[in-house]
Amino acid sequence: MEFMQCGARKLLFLIVICLVGCSTPPDAYHDQNMDFGAIQTIAVMPLANFTRENLAAERVRDVFITKLLSTGALYVLPVGEVAKGIAKADLTAPTTPSPEEVVKLGGLIKVQAVITGAVKEYGEARASTAAANVISVSLQMVETQTGKIVWSASSTMGGISTSDRLFGGGGQPMEKVTEKAVNDLIRKLFK
């Protein structure tokens, strides 16, 4: 009898550990006090590039802008207008503007929010004989009235699957992996 109670406790303990270990953290931050309906025009800032691919940040930014415009939910300021605003505001690091710089830029280019972020991975990942494309992107929305972050999310797509390891294969093309990551971010934005 005592053996069964000990076994039952161990089983219960293992179940609790599995449930705690298997729970997923929230996949995006949304400021509960922010009225996202008030945001009609945004600027997508140049993204930081932490990859070996020189044009990764520009490619991801272009895909993000295009997909965001296709939703019809927001007007995205053209890249050239954003660049003019960055020059006018004399931003020293446009990929990581301070809250004060965001407020100043918002007043100059007349947007309610700016999107900043970083491309952390972009390109081919290798493991043994398998290779596949992978992308990892983190974005945040900063409200221009206060300079406060009101939304933040990240997405990682692609990579080497078990079937790639077992049977070979190269995963999906980079443009498909990029589109999946961007679509995931936009889904998290409008969640």
Write the CB contacts of 86 (distance below 8 Å, at least 6 apart in sequence). Answer: 45, 46, 94, 105
CATH fold of 39-189:
Rossmann fold (3.40.50)
pLDDT averages per 10-residue partition of the chain, 191 residues: 51 45 65 91 98 96 97 96 97 96 97 98 82 93 97 92 62 91 96 84
pLDDT at 132: 85
pLDDT at 18: 44
pLDDT at 21: 45
Q: What is the spatial distance between Cα 70 and Cα 88, in angstroms, rounded to a whole number? A: 29
Structural Rg of the chain based on CA atoms? 21
The amino acid at residue 154 is: S
Q: What is the spatial distance between Cα 44 and Cα 31, in angstroms, rounded to a whole number? A: 19
pLDDT at 9: 53
Per-domain residue ranges for the chain? 39-189
Q: What is the largest CA-CA distance in the chain?
A: 78
159, HSE (Cβ side, Cα atoms, 13 Å): 9
pLDDT at 178: 96
Write the CB contacts of 117 (distance below 8 Å, at least 6 apart in sequence). Answer: 45, 47, 48, 137, 138, 139, 140
The amino acid at residue 111 is: V
131, HSE (Cβ side, Cα atoms, 13 Å): 6
Pairing assessment for the beta strands 130-143 and 113-127 based on DSSP bridges: antiparallel
pLDDT at 161: 66
